[in-house]
Structure 1
Amino acid sequence: MLAIERKNEILSILQKEQRVLVAELSTRYQVTEETIRRDLEKLEKEGFVKKTYGGAVLNKNSTIDMPLKIREKTNRKEKQKIAQTVASLIEDGESIMLDSSSTSLMIAQELKKKKKLTVITNSVEVLIELSGCEGIKVISTGGTLRDSSLSLVGKMAQDVLEKYYVDKAILSCKGIDLAKGVTDSHEMEADVKNCMHNCARTTILAADTSKLEHVFFVKVMDLSEGDILVLDKTPKKEWVDCLEKRGIRLITGAE
């Protein structure tokens, strides 16, 4: 296994389990503990982890943004359930905006089953996934490429989005809090998401429940009356009651 592949796998484990031990990783990958320590040192310099005695923990700094390829491997079953639920809310003939979140590719795969759609997106992966699909018109925002997320951001992307009014915007985020709203770790990504929200009649926010009660670096938006929150499972009663009071429709993957 190449060193970069091992580092990515370690990041995936950290994303899921929050911590790793040098001895366990050494046995798992059949390399010396010193090799694992060097891997962790590099990940620490990149800002993803904090080294501890005998291992490392995930850096939960609100500005840290995991690479897309790592995020796509995390909570895959939950995201698949969410993607199927989101696709069921999209009608043939609608126009939608789809962001560059790690759930977006799974949603795009489900949308390929639709007969007629217009999809506006800033996700390079979604553009490739939907290319050549009969009955689906795909519009790219253009903009500046962010390598870590394979997304197009910046003023050019926002200028394109602002020219359109669509039926639904499908977004995700890093954190959702009842008081602080919907938040993300990167300002330019947040700007694009907010722009999509403002250009849509209805916003569908797709997130797994691990994102509830977490606040990240920059606010994206507040969900409005008539918007939809799609989760993989039912949240605490406090959330259910608050969403109902605000007129936000809650749908879980179990429904």
Structure 2
Amino acid sequence: MSRRNNTPASAEKRKTYILDQLKIKGKVRVAELSHDLGKSEVTIRNDLTQLESHGFLERVHGGAIQSQRQYDYMTNSERMQNYAKEKIDIGRSLADIVQDGDIIAVNSGTTGFYAVNELAAKQNIKVVTNSIHIAMELNDISGLEIILLGGSVHTRYPYTHGAVTLSEMSKYSVNKALISIDGISAEGGLTSLEWEEAPLCRLMMERAEMSIAIGDLRKVGHVSFSRICSVEEINLLVTNEGADEKELRDLHSSGIRIIKA
């Protein structure tokens, strides 16, 4: 759509367009929407406010981001596409932290997938994971050895969980645990929508010399369904520029090192 259109978009068409752009990009800017839709920035801000009131998005300075609630119920392929650039940036930052020869534990989050993919230049990395997606898609990277934990397969997302998964993980000691999170806050701790996986995340951290929480900027300040642990139990958070600064200060005050990719 463009300002050159003779008929500006109706309110409902504008909102549909905004939500479509959010699904594709993960975030939108008021100025760009104003240009695309041929409406004033005041009108666009009002549209965003109304959509936020119904839980469809979250307002940020200059625009909006997709609400965590919407993300929680996406399919795995939709989650992979959502905020992909931010997740890749996180993975590239982790490539500076993971060393040749490391043994790492990674849970099933999509950020973990991108993190492992960015380790392609490393040598002799062992990856212990419950992510079927990681095992299937990244097993041919020459520098990686993927160890897939057995167990019950989740009915919606490609990961294993349950008693068998925990029993297998308990046999391994790892250098670093990379825990993809759905939320992190100083008060709420690390949280996940996947309650079946939370016990495995805790065990991965127990078996690791260093525990690293990874999550894009939306996850900072968000509290999801199932608590994994308190923030004091992790060593490092890797997120993105643009994450909630007040929450980051509170997390830093808890003794956590923070890297913004």
TM (normalized to structure 2)? Answer: 0.71
Gaps of 5+ in 1: 1-8, 19-51
- 1:128 aligned partner: 136
- 1:164 aligned partner: 172
- 2:85 aligned partner: 77
- 1:93 aligned partner: 101
Alignment pair present for 1:13 and 2:23: yes
> Which residue identity is paired with 1:232?
N
- 1:116 aligned partner: 124
Whether contact under 8 Å (1:181, 1:222) holds in the other structure is yes
Whether contact under 8 Å (2:191, 2:227) holds in the other structure is yes
SS in 2 for 1:215: coil
TM (normalized to structure 1)? Answer: 0.72
> Offset of 1:242 from its aligned partner?
2.7
Alignment pair present for 1:145 and 2:153: yes
Whether contact under 8 Å (2:55, 2:69) holds in the other structure is no
SS in 2 for 1:72: helix
Aligned pairs for 1:54-73 within 5 A: 57=56, 65-73=73-81
SS in 2 for 1:77: helix
Whether contact under 8 Å (1:79, 1:208) holds in the other structure is yes
Residue number among 112, 119, 132 corresponding to 1:104 in the alignment: 112
> Which residue identity is paired with 2:133?
E
Paired-residue identity, %: 26
| Whole-Å separation in 1 of the counterparts to 2:235 and 2:106 | 15
SS in 2 for 1:224: helix
- 1:43 aligned partner: none
Whether contact under 8 Å (1:11, 1:70) holds in the other structure is no
| Whole-Å separation in 2 of the counterparts to 1:159 and 1:184 | 21
| Whole-Å separation in 1 of the counterparts to 2:207 and 2:253 | 24
| Whole-Å separation in 2 of the counterparts to 1:210 and 1:159 | 33
SS in 1 for 2:121: coil
Gaps of 5+ in 2: 1-18, 29-50, 58-66
> Offset of 1:244 from its aligned partner?
3.0
Alignment pair present for 1:223 and 2:231: yes
> Offset of 1:160 from its aligned partner?
0.7
| Whole-Å separation in 1 of the counterparts to 2:230 and 2:183 | 12
Whether contact under 8 Å (1:225, 1:248) holds in the other structure is no
Alignment pair present for 1:197 and 2:172: no
RMSD of Structure 2 on Structure 1 (CA): 3.0
Query: Cα distance 1:12–1:192, how it changes in 2: closer, same or farther (>3 A)?
Result: farther
Alignment pair present for 1:211 and 2:219: yes
> Offset of 1:148 from its aligned partner?
2.4
